[in-house]
């Protein structure tokens, strides 16, 4: 104590200051530091939970993006398949129509040929009849004799068959 007094320190005042410090430390610890530490711990826990939730959200977002890209890719493949099928169907339809058109043209040509043959035969028949009549008429004039028409026709047919 002598040393303390030599230094000019009042030990009673020092003791009072120590007690005051301990009381103040106890009050601050009880009413300020503990609630402050509790608040900081809760805040830290909320931040950690927010970070975990942010990571989950980020993972979910990345998965959603991958699913979207997969759906888009599948849609593109499906659209490509539809286009290929449509082209194949168009080509098949074109070939079918072309074959039907060729068949129709062949029928028309065949009918035209058949009609030409019929017309030719009919014209030949008419021509023969006219020639027979003309020959008969010419024969009548040349011979100046009366020949029966049946004999005359047979004669003309015989001549025509040789021609």
Domain ranges of the chain: 2-162
Q: Are 159 and 139 in contact (CB under 8 A)?
A: no
Burial letters 49-80, b for 16+ CB under 10 A, else e: eeeeeeeeeeeeeeeeeeeeeeeeeeeeeeee
pLDDT score at 72: 95
Residues 59-96 have pLDDT tens digits of: 999 999 999 999 999 999 999 999 999 999 999 999 99
Instruction: Read off the tokens for 89.
Output: 């169907």
Residues 4-31 have pLDDT tens digits of: 777 777 778 889 999 999 999 999 988 9
């Amino acid at each position: 104590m002598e040393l303390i007094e030599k230094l000019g320190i009042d030990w009673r005042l020092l003791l009072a200051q120590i007690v005051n410090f301990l009381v103040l430390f106890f009050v601050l610890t009880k009413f300020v530091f503990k609630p402050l530490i509790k608040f900081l711990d809760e805040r830290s826990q909320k931040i950690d939970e927010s970070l975990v939730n942010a990571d989950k959200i980020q993972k979910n977002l990345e998965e959603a993006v991958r699913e979207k890209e997969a759906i888009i890719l599948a849609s593109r493949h499906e659209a490509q398949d539809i286009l290929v099928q449509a082209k194949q169907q168009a080509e098949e339809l074109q070939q079918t129509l072309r074959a039907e058109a060729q068949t129709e043209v062949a029928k028309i040509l065949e009918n035209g040929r058949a009609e030409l043959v019929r017309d030719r035969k009919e014209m030949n028949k008419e021509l023969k009849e006219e020639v027979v009549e003309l020959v008969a008429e010419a024969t009548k004039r040349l011979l100046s004799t009366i020949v029966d028409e049946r004999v005359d026709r047979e004669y003309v047919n015989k001549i025509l068959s040789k021609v």
